[in-house]
Structure 1
Amino acid sequence: MMISRRALGLGAAAVLAMGAMPAMAQSNLSADDRAVLQQAQTYLTGLTSAQGTFVETGPNNQRREGRFWLQRPGKMRFEYTTPAGLLVVADGNNVNRYDPRLESFRQVPLAQTPLSTFLARNVRLDQGVQIDRVTRMDSGAYAITARDARRPNEGSVILSFAGGRLQEWTITDAQGARTRVQLTTLQPVSGLSANLFTLRDPTRRPSRDR
């Protein structure tokens, strides 16, 4: 079954909602803007294996919390503690979503989701991504606003960095609804278990030989 961004319904799983576009769209950026993009790109590419916690605030101030694990290339796990049991797992090939409350399992190829950009072996923000705005603060913090130029009306994402790391992202969808994800902790790790990035369909009943 195909999963759209809305079907995934998760700000965390929609991180970096950006798609491919011609590199010429970056021509309006200043040299300082390009330096900021390079800084963010270097940081994200270097974040090859990490874990942390997050707080997600939805359009109706619905609050969700959870933990995440990242292993580039291709793998990430969002494990929600509220609501308990909700899982979104990228296993390198597919993105799988399981909601135990609805007893539903959905799957879509990773390449067809925004996560493919974020989980690439080398993150590129200087090409293949439309950058609407780069905001720089005196403190050294900065934010990058981006969207998918092929589908510019589907929304945008703001990535915010401070203290040398990614702090949060805010996604605005096609209807103008905003979802904010704050990374309350984020730390590089090593030796993550492969089981973290495996999610089989719990709703599938084992077949019986007749």
Structure 2
Amino acid sequence: MRLWQVLCGAALLLSSALVSADPLADLKLFYAEVSSLSGDFEQRLLDEDGDTLERYAGRFWMQRPGRFLWLYDTPYEQQLGADGETLWHYDVDLRQITMRDAATSLSGTPAELLGGDLSQLDRYKLTRLSDADGLEWLQLLPHSDSSDFEEIRIGMAGGQPAQVLLSDRLGQTTAMILHDLKRNPKIGAERFSLQVPEGVTVVDERPGA
């Protein structure tokens, strides 16, 4: 279950190099101006002492509403994608695809927060934090106790999220940084369409499947 949460949490973020004045205003403007994006990402799982337990890297594409594809190159090849209705995880080494209902699986996750509309912010208490590492930080505390994440911190730069730190209830933190981004690129619908390779097992966990 944690793998789904971590991968989804990474699904819809972007970075840049310039620092702006109001991170909350920038985040709201991000909803209004960014309909699609693509780039490279690095994702790390940190323990309570800040040591790296796992490291992932790859490329991603996103298009509102609810469509994304993340291709993980390291440490092993995998894919996480959604077409607005179905969320899937493809483990290339295991040759297995797991399919789930997107609305249910993404509910309350950072993927839903950053990939949805401005109303998503109503689910969180937002607090302006001190600047650090050349970024302006926002703290998001979920109003619901059922959230898998105890705290989300977003570092804003150049009017958009540059880093996101997701702290879970087990004391671990997922840190995400994205690079070489293209803002509002044209992305064909086929990018978000699941193609099942021959010989791959499909596990369909959607209701009614």
TM exceeds 0.5?
yes
**SS of alignment partner, residue 101 of structure 1:** coil
1:109-124 pair list within 5 angstroms: 109-112=101-104, 113=106, 114=109, 115-120=111-116, 122-124=117-119
1:188-203 pair list within 5 angstroms: 188-202=183-197, 203=200
Over 3 Å counting, the alpha-carbon distance change for 1:13 and 1:176 in structure 2 is: same
Map of 1:134 onto structure 2: 128
Structure 1 residue aligned with 2:89, among 74, 90, 97? Answer: 97
Map of 2:25 onto structure 1: 38
Offset at residue 140 of structure 1 (A): 8.5
Count of aligned positions: 181
Map of 1:146 onto structure 2: 140
TM-score, with structure 2 as normaliser = 0.74
What percent of counterpart residues are identical?
21
Tell me, which stretches of 5 or more residues in structure 1 are unaligned? 17-34, 206-210
Deviations 1:26-63, CA, capped at 9 Å, x for gaps: xxxxxxxxx64233122133210110111111134322
Over 3 Å counting, the alpha-carbon distance change for 1:151 and 1:39 in structure 2 is: same
Root-mean-square deviation (Å): 2.8
Map of 2:14 onto structure 1: none
Which consecutive segments of 4 or more residues in structure 1 shift more than 3 A?
A: 136-141
1:21-60 pair list within 5 angstroms: 36-59=23-46, 60=52
Tell me, which stretches of 5 or more residues in structure 2 are unaligned? 12-21, 47-51, 203-209
Tell me if 1:173 matches 2:187: no
Map of 2:205 onto structure 1: none
Q: Which moved more, 1:50-59 or 1:35-44?
A: 35-44
Q: Distance in 2 between matches of 1:166 and 1:36?
A: 9
Partners of 2:125 and 2:143 within 8 A in 1? no
**SS of alignment partner, residue 42 of structure 1:** helix
Larger Rg, first or second structure (1 or 2): 1
